[in-house]
Amino acid sequence: MTPSSLRRQRRIDQTIREVHQSLKGAGKKKLEDQIGYFGNESDVVREMRFHPHEPYLIVADQTDGVTVWNWTKSTRVNRFHQDPIRSSRITDFQIINDQSENSILLVSNASGNIHLYKDYEKNNEQYLVTAIRAEPMVMASSRGPGILTEWQQDHGLLYVSGDVPHIKVWDMERETCVQTISSDIDACTTSLGCDRMGGHSIVAGYSDGSVLIFDRRENNRQVPLQQHSLQNRMKEHKNWVVKVCIQKVNNNQIITGSYSGDIKFWDARVLGGAAIRTFECHKGGMNSLEIHDYAPVMACGSNDQFIKVFNTSGDQMSMIYYHEGFLGQRIGPVSSLAFHPYRMLLAAGSTDSIISIYSGDRNQSQKGRK
């Protein structure tokens, strides 16, 4: 390990040690202090992710553009198109090997292809490491989920699904599909999650409101959370599933939310039971739901131009209607939300191309600026 790599690893270890202390009480604090905003080149924001260990927010728009922002300075550091020859809209992306000095940006598109980039945070210096045809069955279109991905760092596995009747498991080191898990359901996958703490569970939400959980060690066996009938398979949601999540701090709990605005909590150990808790955060039109990895906090965004922040007990902590610094301008219809993995920061993107960043602890946000 080089001296710079060693220093970086020490810094990351220190950050992780501070996580529990810095997020202590996060489920009781308001999260509405706007600390930054910027425009995303007049494009609708489709997907966003904070880099866990660098001051970057990566944004994908509704076409094929990727923009990397330094959120501490509200400045753009790079912008590029993931497929300048055959333009295909971006449907998802992941940051892999994020503890390395040379993390990789994995971008998937509506054509079923995945591109991997290095140096994506350097202005006009990004370069394509490799590309794979992850899902040949997907037909390129301007609508629908395309392909969705979920990255499991500990195992080096990428889970891929979308408008197809299965989930593929890719070993990214070998660039090989090592498993195909059939879902046996007549609906497209709208959200993917997995146990990112080294486990083997995969959870998938579908356009008909169903949710299935799989154990990839069981080969092709699906496990409906309501096991009494395959038709019930945790089909308490009445609309398409916006988000499924296995929180890092509690891998026995599955959280799901649908477009109708209902959020449900499930015990992954009790596969034959109903949801252990349900609450309604919107009366329809919930476009985005994001759940913090380490804090008991969730945020949901609406077509009706507002964001609600809840703790996982269902108590509303904040409600955001307006931008600061825009003379009270109303936020646009919310298209994407993203929590910082280790800080109490929330990024919100909308159809008017504006991105805002909100903090629940200004001291923590100032640490990120150093």
Ordered DSSP codes for 136-181: TTPPP-SSS--EEEEEETTTTEEEEEESSSEEEEEETTTTEEEEEE
Nearest to 150 by CA among 181, 108, 188: 108
Q: Are 365 and 359 in contact (CB under 8 A)?
A: yes
Q: Is the pTM of this model over 0.75?
A: yes
pLDDT of residue 85: 58
Per the listing, tokens 């039109």 go with 285
Q: In this structure, is the dihedral angle defined by the CA atoms of residues 204, 252, 281 and 35, taken in order, positive or negative?
A: negative
CA–CA separation, 199 vs 201, rounded Å?
6
pLDDT of residue 291: 96
The full set of domain ranges for the chain reads: 3-368
Structure tokens at 288: 């985005």
CATH homologous superfamily of 3-368: YVTN repeat-like/Quinoprotein amine dehydrogenase (2.130.10.10)
pLDDT tens digits for the chain (370 residues)? Answer: 677 777 777 877 777 777 667 777 777 788 889 998 888 776 788 999 999 999 999 999 887 899 999 999 999 999 998 866 566 889 999 999 998 888 999 999 988 999 999 999 999 999 999 999 999 887 666 566 789 999 999 999 999 999 898 999 999 999 999 999 988 888 999 999 999 887 888 999 999 998 988 888 876 554 444 332 233 356 788 899 999 999 887 878 899 999 999 999 998 877 666 888 999 988 878 999 999 988 999 999 998 899 999 999 999 999 998 777 655 688 889 999 999 998 999 999 988 888 999 998 665 555 555 5
Length of the chain measured in residues: 370
pLDDT of residue 283: 81
Coil/strand/helix, residue 27: helix
Query: Which alpha helices (H) appear in the chain, and where do they start and end?
Result: 3-22, 362-368
